[in-house]
Amino acid sequence: MTGLAFDAAPLLGASPMCAHLAALAVLVIVVAGAGLVIFALWRGSTALWVRAFALFFCAVVAFAALALLGLVVLYVRLGGSIVSASTGWSHGLSVSVAAGAFAAFVVAVLVIGRRVVGAVGQANRSVLRFCVGAVLAMLVNVMAAITHTVALVSANPELFADSVDQVTIKGYGSTSGFYYSELIVANTVAAAFAISAAVFVARAVIKLRVEQSVPSP
């Protein structure tokens, strides 16, 4: 049923792929930002314990980057398959387009993050631009997931019904229950995290901008 639904409505296949790639973009940005922080920590101190701490987390970040690279390659190839099926292009060209689009998205959100942070001091700007970029990618992930859910409800209600579960509550001699959709719950939780992250990052940017604008005594 899923295969037939995705073939009948290309948006059903493209939207979750965009959500997955946006989530991977968040991880790429976070890993890159963590690497930058660790590098700055290594350069900023000559203390042995600080260097050891930075070296340990450098190994952690390197391991995370390798695992993330495998996921990115996997989903870019899947995205290429969707592009190839939708356009009739060769698989190699479609994968290149998907990889280029993913890289362009990561660069774009980082550039926007840098412009949003803009006037803040250099040390804080280097970290915050990654935070802003990650939040933007999270919001794109949520929008793609919601788009997929809406498209699924309208294009194939029977398939959407598979995501609906019933909870039965028994006690005190009575029985009650309610229905919920796993997709809608997942979208709600993801949106709550994305909005919360956006609020925290926005507050940090505004606070640093205010501090930057206040003249030193």
- Who's near 120: CB < 8 A, 6+ residues apart? 128, 205, 208, 209, 212
- Who's near 167: CB < 8 A, 6+ residues apart? 177, 178, 179, 180
Give the model's pLDDT for residue 115: 85
Q: Band of the pLDDT at 86, cuts 50, 70, 90?
A: confident
Mean pLDDT for 154-161 is: 86
Please say if the pLDDT value at position 5 is more than 80. Answer: no
Mean pLDDT for 73-93 is: 86
Please say if the pLDDT value at position 121 is more than 60. Answer: no
Query: Coil, helix or strand for 173?
Result: coil
Distance from C-alpha of 106 to C-alpha of 136, rounded to nearest angstrom: 10
Element (H, E) at 169: strand 164-171
Q: Which two tokens stand for residue 54?
A: 């930075």
Q: Using a pLDDT cut of 90, give the percent of the chain over it.
A: 36
Angle between helices 122-155 and 91-117 (to 10 degrees): 130
For 116-120, 137-141, 151-155, 202-206, which range has the lowest pLDDT when averaged over its residues?
A: 116-120
Q: Band of the pLDDT at 135, cuts 50, 70, 90?
A: very high
CB 166 within 8 A of CB 177: yes
Select, from the ranges 31-35, 179-183, 189-193, the one with the highest average predicted confidence (pLDDT): 189-193
Domain extents in the chain:
2-213
Please say if the pLDDT value at position 138 is more than 90. Answer: yes
Q: What's the DSSP call for residue 88?
A: -
For 58-62, 123-127, 163-167, which range has the lowest pLDDT when averaged over its residues?
A: 123-127
Q: Band of the pLDDT at 173, cuts 50, 70, 90?
A: low
Q: Is the pLDDT higher at 8 or at 145? A: 145
Please say if the pLDDT value at position 41 is more than 90. Answer: no
Mean pLDDT of the chain: 84
Select, from the ranges 160-164, 172-176, 190-194, the one with the highest average predicted confidence (pLDDT): 190-194
